[in-house]
Structure 1
Amino acid sequence: MISTSARSRRALAFAAAGLTALALAGCATESAAEGDGGQAAACAPEDIQLIGQVRNETNPYEKAWLDGGDEFAESVGLTQTRLTYDGESPKQQEQLRQALSTGNPECMVLNVLPNGDSDTTPIVKEADAAGAYLVTHWNKPADLDPWDGYDTWISHITFNGVDSGRQIAEAMFEAMGGEGGIIALQGILDTSAAKDRFIGLEDALAENPGVTLLDEQAADFDRTTAFNVTKTLITKHGDAITGVWAANDDMALGALQALEAAGMSGVAVVGIDAVPEAVQAIADGKMTATVSSDGPWQGGIGLAMGYCALTGELAVSDLSDEERAFFAKQTLIDASNAEANLTPSVNLEDFECGNLFNRVDGPVS
């Protein structure tokens, strides 16, 4: 069953005018054949445009995301357009507007990391109005959901930040022997990821009275900012710091550099994202733990969802609420499994139309 999106509404108007052939033709060389999803393909595969957008490629996790998108695109004979907006919300939205005004948006797939929760609403509305398929990751307002009238917003994918924040905290506390003082580096505060991960830390602290939170500062998920913030906190707290909790690996690595510059060793440092440099630091005994959210998989899965919808192999209207907004599975990486996770890789079977939701690990409530 085809959803009543901007694409299908136009098709119905054509049909009412007796132009059924044009409705089936759709965008460019649209196929009338049905895909495995039981609906007519909206676009010929060669006419599909794939776009991935993240903040920047200096963050290894976000670069790995776009690399995963490239691997999926190549597997279906297409090329991904890589967009970066440098953490600037106006720039992100302008990039997407330009993309939607170029080519045929009804044969377009957007796989997007919104800069903050408040950025998701305008992104979703513009993509839906243009008839472009969209998958968002990490950030959205709690009261905004794909099934609330957004027929081309396929899914919102995130990870249980409370769980990951707690997991790395517990690994750090264990390395500290259950006592000591820690500093916390928060991410961009207008993001669900930053908020939830810090809640996970707070939950872990409540269960470990021997550990004291000495200080917490926002470092915007950025390595250089984290380096400078950590230097300041080292000056303030000195040797009382026995652990550094960071809301992502880039900040953890910045903190590690600051600790090394100050001649401080034996401090437990944890992060999130499992970027190769952080995993190597864990294998080398310099960092304690991270959590993998599998950036390459994220970069490919959103494009794959849109591709399958456009080729008729996925009917968005048939998806459950849990499939349209879900937590994906994540993995704690510590000294026991760091060597096995040094190189991010893509399993193209994950992107087959029948496997798109194999990593669902619960609904986003």
Structure 2
Amino acid sequence: MTHDHPPRIPTKNRSYRTMSNTAARGRIVALAIAGIAALALSGCAGQSETPGEAPAAEGGTCAPEDIQLIGQVRNETNPYEKAWLDGGDAFAESVGLTQTRLTYDGESPKQQEQLRQALSTGNPECMVLNVLPNGDSDTTPIVKEVDNAGAYLVTHWNKPADLNPWDGHDTWISHITFDGKDAGRQIADAMFEAMGGSGGIIALQGILDTAAAKDRFIGLQDALAENPDVELLDEQAADFDRTTAFNITKTLITKHGDAIKGVWAANDDMALGALQALEAAGMDGVAVVGIDAVPEAVQAVADGTMTATVSVDGPWQGGIGLAMGYCALTGELDVAELSNEQRAFFAKQTLINADNAEENLTPTANLDDFACDNLFDRVTGPVS
């Protein structure tokens, strides 16, 4: 992928360092101004102003080339999380930097240790962390570590309800998530329609200590309450994992057999594992739905073997958090001026079905989304 331009720099929030041109012309004052200018330049980590270039923005604390970009997810075997890190790479390349890709294999202690090591390497005050906390309870220690180090942080999906970026966290820029209840309801409605409005289903939940898993299942329950002819035969936690989902689905097929007319899965990796189990059992025509719009799942929707998924745009997530921190460190984003809605928000998501699957087969990052004046264009509402 080639990138023709870095993120656009907005002018509406720009303020500049200037030196007074009304100072006395005497030699002593001139020398004093020269000394002040030298100190200012040395404090900007090598930034300089040359003819024809805009001066450094006030509040910019790091030269662009000194900024460290770090993306962290559970693993790269999950296509959605790999696409997230790929989006981070695309943003980093567009500004002449390299993203450090971290994976912690779904192990909370490993995640915490990785972040501690990252913060102890280099200059944390010129560091941006774009992080998927393993569970809600993991976000508090992550925020504490980053606060103490002074690095910029963007978190996604998981956090305790009473922990918010605007409550005294100057460098925790934003928490980004998606309306899980809406996503869980959307795929349930699509599945029920494919089933003709009646029949038995099984549900595969994600990691139960995550807001995403909880909210998506509530969306399913809301849909079930309005569709009394659909019966929830069984539900199991498959931890967002394909192999786990495959094994659980095999067990549930043995238990419920042909009564299963639909499989609701809280993410695509589990949906694909369930689909493999159904195919192995020779069960055709079962409606299978998931969330994340990973390429394999979107292809399955296009082929008609899956019914629907929901796109939360992994490449956008991987780039947007890094872009927010980059813009803050170069002075183009003032975190203190952000609204509460910008600091904890639901982002846009899209239902993918047979009608639009073909056009969503290859997720890629749109660099225009990462321009400093476009960072909050996908906000659909505050996280309450």
- TM-score w.r.t. structure 2 length? 0.88
Which residue is 2:16 aligned to?
none
Which residue is 2:52 aligned to?
none
Cα separation, 1, equivalents of 2:306 and 2:290: 9
Seen in structure 2, the aligned counterparts of structure 1 residues 176 and 125 have a Cα distance that, compared at 3 Å, is: same
Which residue is 1:134 aligned to?
153
2:181 aligned residue (141, 159, 162): 162
1:190 aligned residue (196, 204, 209): 209
- CA offsets 1:215-269 (integer angstroms, 9 cap, x no match): 0000000000000000000011000000000000000000000000001000000
- CA offsets 1:60-95 (integer angstroms, 9 cap, x no match): 000000000000000000000000000000000000
- CA offsets 1:18-68 (integer angstroms, 9 cap, x no match): x99768745743669443xxx331100000000000000000000000000
Which residue is 1:29 aligned to?
46
Seen in structure 2, the aligned counterparts of structure 1 residues 31 and 245 have a Cα distance that, compared at 3 Å, is: farther
Aligned-partner residue type, residue 98 of structure 2: T
Which residue is 2:335 aligned to?
316
Seen in structure 2, the aligned counterparts of structure 1 residues 26 and 221 have a Cα distance that, compared at 3 Å, is: farther
* Identical residues among aligned pairs (%): 86
Seen in structure 2, the aligned counterparts of structure 1 residues 217 and 23 have a Cα distance that, compared at 3 Å, is: farther
Map 1:241-320 onto structure 2 (within 5 A): 241-320=260-339
Cα separation, 1, equivalents of 2:190 and 2:338: 37
- CA offsets 1:157-184 (integer angstroms, 9 cap, x no match): 0000000000000000000000000000
**Is residue 2:121 matched to residue 1:102?**
yes
Cα separation, 2, equivalents of 1:220 and 1:265: 25
- CA offsets 1:70-126 (integer angstroms, 9 cap, x no match): 000000000000000000000000000000000000000000000000000000111
- CA offsets 1:116-143 (integer angstroms, 9 cap, x no match): 0000000011111101000000000000
Contact 2:341/2:382 (CA < 8 Å) preserved in 1? yes
Cα separation, 2, equivalents of 1:299 and 1:258: 31
Cα separation, 2, equivalents of 1:25 and 1:328: 40
**Is residue 2:120 matched to residue 1:89?**
no
Which residue is 1:144 aligned to?
163
Cα separation, 1, equivalents of 2:335 and 2:41: 19
1:45 aligned residue (41, 58, 64): 64
Seen in structure 2, the aligned counterparts of structure 1 residues 215 and 298 have a Cα distance that, compared at 3 Å, is: same
Seen in structure 2, the aligned counterparts of structure 1 residues 22 and 99 have a Cα distance that, compared at 3 Å, is: farther
Cα separation, 1, equivalents of 2:251 and 2:44: 56
**Is residue 2:367 matched to residue 1:348?**
yes
**Is residue 2:224 matched to residue 1:177?**
no
Which residue is 1:12 aligned to?
none
Contact 2:47/2:56 (CA < 8 Å) preserved in 1? no
Cα separation, 2, equivalents of 1:116 and 1:22: 45
DSSP-derived class of the 2:227 partner = coil
**Is residue 2:230 matched to residue 1:200?**
no
Which residue is 1:78 aligned to?
97
DSSP-derived class of the 1:355 partner = coil
Aligned-partner residue type, residue 312 of structure 1: G
Tell me how many residue pairs correspond in the alignment.
345
Q: Name structure 1 gaps, 5 residues minimum.
A: 2-18
DSSP-derived class of the 2:373 partner = helix
DSSP-derived class of the 1:353 partner = coil
**Is residue 2:130 matched to residue 1:111?**
yes
- TM-score w.r.t. structure 1 length? 0.92
- CA offsets 1:280-329 (integer angstroms, 9 cap, x no match): 00000000000000000000000000000000000000000000000000
Cα separation, 2, equivalents of 1:40 and 1:234: 59
Cα separation, 1, equivalents of 2:239 and 2:157: 15
Contact 2:200/2:232 (CA < 8 Å) preserved in 1? yes
Contact 1:114/1:137 (CA < 8 Å) preserved in 2? yes
Aligned-partner residue type, residue 164 of structure 2: D
Cα separation, 1, equivalents of 2:96 and 2:365: 16
Aligned-partner residue type, residue 317 of structure 1: A
**Is residue 2:90 matched to residue 1:59?**
no
Seen in structure 2, the aligned counterparts of structure 1 residues 241 and 297 have a Cα distance that, compared at 3 Å, is: same
Aligned-partner residue type, residue 29 of structure 1: G
DSSP-derived class of the 1:90 partner = helix
